[in-house]
A and B are shown apart, each in its own frame.
Chain A
């Protein structure tokens, strides 16, 4: 009974408010530049501490993952529960190519990103072709995630298995310095924001919105729903591969938990849920907030999982549109009582 696809009241009703995509380029570039400038100042404050900068770099990696997930899930309603696995293809792929095959770092990153892109595209293509719907897409990608985990553990001589592996390429370069990795990841995050923003402004974005609001109506209006889904997955998966790979090289070591389902997918879901699914700047708000929250909760050990679990419940129960869009909506209603 309930696997019948529904339209306007379908999966997309869970999504956040789609902020009106602005037509003018400055109105897109200015906020991105503002976010960039704000985050660029952070090392002035935390730059003395290698540990805190490491946290900040990881936080930016999560910003990147969340933007990518937003492109795929937020824009086209494809529940990809393999964010960590796709980023992991980038991370492990890059490490293996650079260290074991002796490729240059840039080429390794590129190749690993390509691999992640194609994998994401393939998953989406299969899901769209078989019209899997949001649930089966979720299950298929979850199965893919678990397979990836099993593969990482099974191919111990390449991946280091449970304990992970060190990445020797890039050691001693700027990539392992205290501050430069931060700006590298920040550049990626801003680039991803820009790409997502431009996508939303283009006719692709128009198609995204149409198919999010009402898939059937979009199809009737001539939007090739299937094609745009695959596009979104390709773009998002490329972001994941690139971010995962770059992060791995700056970190110098990777392990199953670097890209684990519980460590990445769940966290990204919470971050996007908090920031607002589909909202352009939702990932920034969510990822920054939760990186800080996570730092605060770090002493609580296992209770952190409890906190995350409860946050997920609370977020999707009370604020299904995302905390920030809900608050923004309340604020606007107060300012303009007649809407």
Chain B
């Protein structure tokens, strides 16, 4: 049981980080990026290719993060342009349809070009015992990196003027414009950040379990569920929802089997939408 919970926390932290990017992009720009998982997978493939080319791991990982950020930037500069001209639901709908197209394009390309490609980052050394449970070093390293990233995000949003400016656009876009903040610049910044975070999750996930080219859809799905449960546009909610759903998933998978646990997860998300549409930590406006 404790082992399951610990596994769930490792997974949940990564879920949470995945959702942060998605939730910020939505909160900031009303854009729902269904290509999020494929961005993560594409970044993972960049790392795998760089490694195969003989680059040291830190450089390969750096290239992966760069690729993730670049994909976010490209989305902003290309297919999201027409989305920005719309408002409200039409905007979200068009972004959803277009990024769905992107996800198919990217996934199809990766499947075609690197059908057997996978990223697996083995971290050597024996297991470390935590609360009497042996944990793999890979899981611990992944969790440490993820937690550090969350801490960095927290500091950025709380204590830097740029971070506050991003939050202000989520809270009141018109108010932000009236104090001289360019909402679109913030959105571009966050799209790049979300790409980097997706790449980071892919890299840390690969320390726990291999990431192959078919993982995109399931990554997007998990990110979407965590985002919805955490509340669209809510970073703390994403972390909390990630942890809860990660633990639920790990425990349920062990007790009743994988498929049913997925259904429980999905049911939880559906229930949240229906009972608390603003998310776990959401406040009704």
Point out residues on A near B: beta carbons under 8 Å.
Answer: 1-6, 9-14, 79, 126, 130, 132-136, 138-140, 142-144, 146-147, 150-151, 153-154, 262, 266, 269, 273, 301-313, 316-317, 320
Contacts and interface: CB of A to CB of B under 8 A. Distances in A.
Interface stretch (B81-89, B153-161, B189-197, B203-211): B81-89
Given A147-B263, A151-B263, 15 more contacts: A11-B93, A134-B89, A135-B89, A140-B274, A154-B257, A302-B108, A306-B112, A308-B101, A309-B100, A309-B102, A309-B103, A309-B108, A311-B101, A313-B102, A317-B82
Contacts of B91: 2
Query: What's the dominant secondary structure at chain B's contact region?
Result: helix
Nearest to A318: B82
B111 A312 contact: no
B232 interface: yes
Contacts of B267: 147
B94 A320 contact: yes
Nearest to B109: A306
Interface size class of B (residues with CB under 8 A): 35 or more
Contacts, number: 152
A79, A303, A317 — most chain B CB neighbours (10 Å): A317
Interface string B60-89: 000000000000000000010010001111
A53 to B, nearest CB: 28
A126 B104 contact: no
A14 B111 contact: no
Nearest to A79: B93
Contact of A135 (B92, B106, B260, B274): B92
A317 B108 CA distance: 20
B101 A310 contact: yes
Contacts of A320: 94
B262 A310 contact: no
Contacts of A269: 97, 100
B88 A309 contact: no
B105 interface: yes
B262 A146 contact: yes
B215 interface: no
Given A5-B89, A14-B94, A304 B108 contact: yes
A153 B277 CA distance: 29
Contacts of A309: 100-108
B92 to A, nearest CB: 5
Contacts of B5: none
B32 interface: yes
- 8 smallest CB-CB distances across A and B, nearest first, come from A305-B108, A2-B30, A154-B259, A309-B104, A309-B105, A312-B101, A6-B88, A302-B112
A302 B270 CA distance: 32
A4 B88 contact: yes
